[in-house]
Amino acid sequence: MDRFLIHGGVPLRGEVTISGAKNAVLPIMAAALLTEEPCVIRRVPDLSDVRFMGRILESLGASVTFEAGTLTIQARQIQGYGDYDLIRKMRGSICIMGPLLGRLHEAKVALPGGCAIGVRPIDLHLKGFRALGVNLDIAGGYVHATAARLAGTELFLGGRAGPTVLGTANLMMAATLADGITVIDSAACEPEVVDLADFLISMGAKISGAGSPRITVTGVKTLHGADHEVIPDRIEAATFAIAAVATNGEVTLQGARADHMQAVIDKLREAGALLERKGPALIARRGPSLRPVDVTTQPYAGFPTDVQAQIMVLMTIAPGTSIITERIFESRFMHAAELARLGADIAIEGPSAIVKGVPSLSGAEMMAGDLRASAALVIAGLAASGSTEILRVYHIDRGYENIDLKLRQLGARFERLKANPNAPENTGGE
């Protein structure tokens, strides 16, 4: 497996272009299954998750080409049964279920199960599909879903940790080709859901209310091809902003959508960071001093769980005590033990991490446990004195396009040490 070697203590300075949003691209790729016509998707990040989803679509019969940030997908003739070994390896592949049911009225997908950041059940997806008239047979780790027809209805998608993002996407896609009107109450409001809705509308779908807790979908007979540009990745933008502040540098985030990052921007300003909009860019730098802040992760537009690990790193070097509470996933503090290897003072009490700032971090060897934890360890290595080595960095390649190249462009002393090219592929899902 590849690993990163970071010689820390260098302020990041310069300009970085924010890539397209991974969490928007994957459902949009799945949505291309809803039509026989070609779909062109632009500003697509070159990520292992994107390429893996492409392989899943190809196993269903679609044609997929990826060149220079542009994906072209044509699902002229497809089947509801893909390569099970591929599908079971990627938790995000559950989002193919909605479009397959919408177009073919049949789908067979693997249950996603648990992962490093906790169990992520699909009970709300299945509840919604049943309401649309889908028959579900769950056996052998797979869901076999069939329907004579999909009938519009009213759905409620509220769950223990708030609305389900992929569930909202899945049911919205299925409902585009259902008979009648479907109303999704307690829908996820994330920008990635809005981006998917915009793509579906450009395909001829009738959708209103995306970005609010109540989405209305009026079914149509068919959808056509479309050309769409994916939104910038708000999580990547937040990660680079925090890295700039943690290293006492100044970074211009080209293409960052500040309107998608208000909760993060608010907390960073509270922590002593200076963030300034400049046209289509966001400039991030540290102010005169860092301050501790309390953070609780929440569904959008609250503070995102995908930035919890990164801001924890910043709090390890902010004088005073911060409390970071995780309300979305139950096992998302594994990075805390790795940060302690650099000298961080973090105590876990139930769903909260109590972080006492230390004067500085010092380099050490660390092991990445999941995608966003990997990003946090990178920030910690950049901010620490001495050398830091991070193992199992395949996680970060799932969600950050060319992070090593981008960081070197900002002045980081950052190396990717290549592994055996014949090593087995690692996949996962966020």
Segment 297-345, tens digit of pLDDT = 999 999 999 999 999 999 999 999 999 999 998 778 989 999 999 999 9
Give per-residue burial for 214-239: e unless 16+ CB within 10 Å, then b: ebbbebeeebebbebbbbbbbbbbbb
Under the banding of pLDDT at 50, 70 and 90, the label for residue 399 is very high
3-state DSSP of the chain? CCEEEEECCCCCEEEEECCECHHHHHHHHHHHHHCCCCEEEECCCCCHHHHHHHHHHHHCCCEEEEECCEEEEECCCCCCECCHHHHHHCHHHHHHHHHHHHHHCEEEEECCCCCCCCCCCCHHHHHHHHHCCCEEEEECCEEEEECCCCECCEEECCCCCCCCHHHHHHHHHHHCCCECEEEEECCCCCHHHHHHHHHHHHCCCEEECECECEEEEECCCCCCCCEEECCECHHHHHHHHHHHHHCCCEEEEECCCHHHCHHHHHHHHHCCEEEEEECCEEEEEECCCCCCCCEEECCCCCECHHHHHHHHHHHHCCCCEEEEECCCCCCCCHHHHHHHCCCCEEEEECCEEEEECCCCCECCEEECCCHHHHHHHHHHHHHCECEEEEECCHHHHCCCCCHHHHHHHCCCEEEEECCCCCCCCCCCCC
Under the banding of pLDDT at 50, 70 and 90, the label for residue 112 is low
Domain boundaries, the chain: 3-18+232-417, 27-220
Topology of domain 27-220 in CATH is UDP-n-acetylglucosamine1-carboxyvinyl-transferase; Chain (3.65.10)
Alpha carbon distance, N-terminus to C-terminus of the chain = 20
Higher-pLDDT residue of 143 and 42 is 42
Q: Mark whether 189 is an active-site residue.
A: no
Which of the following is catalytic: 39, 95, 115, 189? Answer: 115
pTM for the predicted model, two decimal places = 0.94
Predicted local confidence at residue 421, as pLDDT: 56
Query: Cα–Cα–Cα angle for 101, 86, 21, nearest 5°?
Result: 75
Under the banding of pLDDT at 50, 70 and 90, the label for residue 429 is very low
Under the banding of pLDDT at 50, 70 and 90, the label for residue 83 is confident
Predicted local confidence at residue 422, as pLDDT: 57
Give per-residue burial for 262-278: e unless 16+ CB within 10 Å, then b: ebbbebbeebbbebeee
> Contact, 240 vs 284, CB < 8 A?
yes
> Token pair for residue 111?
């249950």
Quick one: residue 25, left, alpha or beta (phi over 0 = left, psi -120 to 50 = alpha)?
alpha
Predicted local confidence at residue 114, as pLDDT: 42
Under the banding of pLDDT at 50, 70 and 90, the label for residue 115 is very low
Domain 3-18+232-417, CATH homologous superfamily name and number? Enolpyruvate transferase domain (3.65.10.10)
**81-90, 164-173, 324-333: lowest mean pLDDT where?**
81-90
Distances (CA, A) of 357 to 289, 315, 317, 363: 13, 6, 5, 16
Predicted local confidence at residue 330, as pLDDT: 77
> Contact, 115 vs 331, CB < 8 A?
no
d(CA 282, CA 286): 13
Say how many residues make up the chain: 430
Predicted local confidence at residue 120, as pLDDT: 54
Residues 38-62, mean pLDDT to the nearest whole number: 96
User: Does residue 220 surpass a pLDDT of 50?
Assistant: yes
